[in-house]
Amino acid sequence: EVQLVESGGGLVQPGGSLRLSCAASGFPFSSYAMHWVRQAPGKGLEYVSAISSNGGSTYYANSVKGRFTISRDNSKNTLYLQMGSLRAEDMAVYYCARKSSGTYWVDYWGQGTLVTVSS
Amino acid sequence: EIVMTQSPATLSVSPGERPTLSCRASQSVSSNLAWYQQKPGQAPRLLIYGASTRATGIPARFSGSGSGTEFTLTISSLQSEDFAVYFCQQYNNWPLYTFGQGTKLEIK
């Protein structure tokens, strides 16, 4: 069974940093591109970042470019999102998601971890 | 950026009814459109990809149609477990996914 379990969310002050993790199991993690997607309270879903299966290519939404870094450790089956210079508008539930192999839609999502940015 | 617009925002329906949810893209996304279901506190679940192909394990009462800029998700006979939020996603220009704002199906 495919499982994606996010962790690392919490309360952080504006300007602060946080690292999210996503532990993957039930599939060959190193064969799949992965995403981070977020959902602000009462808002729709927003693509944040993506990374290729081997970590060689990374992509970012303009809203987080230069502040967030996506990475992965295929030996640990774990995806990361290092978030810096956090702003109030970054407050959201952050989801880890798997891109379907050989295609472009997302086929599995984690349950999300909440990031609260507040002083 | 491709903007996805879903309507209505909320749909009040009774079990057994046949709701139709709409999703419109600001420019053509061909058939590169997926639908997801999300229940409170749960991970989103893939329902439809390629605009009309049901994902593995998805009941036949869910059907998707459309191409280009206009898409619909229809539930042929609404079950109690179908009350949830549904959102569409275009993946025409990976990885720059964009999502609709969602349609909430609520009990009438």
Task: Return the pLDDT at A101.
Answer: 86
- Which of these, A100, A99, A105, A64, lies nearest to A82 by C-alpha position? A64
Nearest-Å Rg of the Cα atoms of chain B is 13
Task: Return the pLDDT at B93.
Answer: 84
Are the beta carbons of A109 and B100 separated by less than 8 Å? Answer: no
pLDDT at A43 over 90: no
Percent of chain A at pLDDT above 70? 100
Centre a 10 Å sphere on the Cβ of residue A89 and count the other Cβ atoms it contains. Answer: 9
Residue A15, token pair as written in the block:
């300007």
Task: Return the pLDDT at B42.
Answer: 86
Task: Return the pLDDT at B108.
Answer: 85
Are the beta carbons of A110 and B46 separated by less than 8 Å? Answer: no
Band of pLDDT at residue B94, cut at 50, 70 and 90: confident
Band of pLDDT at residue B20, cut at 50, 70 and 90: very high
- For the segment B39-66, the average pLDDT, to the nearest whole number, is 94
Indicate the average pLDDT of chain B: 94
Apex CA A19: angle with CA A65 and CA A11, to 5°? 100
pLDDT at B41 over 90: no
* Helix H or strand E segment including B4: strand B4-7
Give contacts of B36 with chain A, Cβ < 8 Å: 106, 109
- For the segment B51-68, the average pLDDT, to the nearest whole number, is 97
Q: What number of CA atoms fall less than 13 Å from residue B41's CA on the CB side?
A: 0
Band of pLDDT at residue A104, cut at 50, 70 and 90: confident
pLDDT at A3 over 90: yes
pLDDT at B7 over 90: yes
Band of pLDDT at residue B50, cut at 50, 70 and 90: very high
The reply to whether B55 touches chain A by the CB within 8 Å rule is: yes
Residue in chain B closest to A58 (alpha carbons) equals B95
Give contacts of B42 with chain A, Cβ < 8 Å: 111
Band of pLDDT at residue A102, cut at 50, 70 and 90: confident
Residue in chain A closest to B97 (alpha carbons) equals A47
Selected for mutation to probe chain A from B33, B36, B94, B103 (highest A CB count within 10 Å) is B94
Q: In this structure, is the dihedral angle defined by the CA atoms of residues B10, A41, B71 and B75, taken in order, positive or negative?
A: negative
Residue B95 has its nearest CB partner, among A47, A107, A109, at A47
SS3 A93: strand
Which residues are paired to A34 by β-bridges? A51, A98
- For the segment B24-49, the average pLDDT, to the nearest whole number, is 94
Residue A63, token pair as written in the block:
């809203």
pLDDT at A44 over 90: no
CA of A4 to nearest chain B CA: how many angstroms apart?
9
pLDDT at A34 over 90: yes
Distance of CA B25 to the CA centre of its chain: 13
CA of A16 to nearest chain B CA: how many angstroms apart?
26
- For the segment A91-96, the average pLDDT, to the nearest whole number, is 97
Task: Return the pLDDT at A42.
Answer: 84
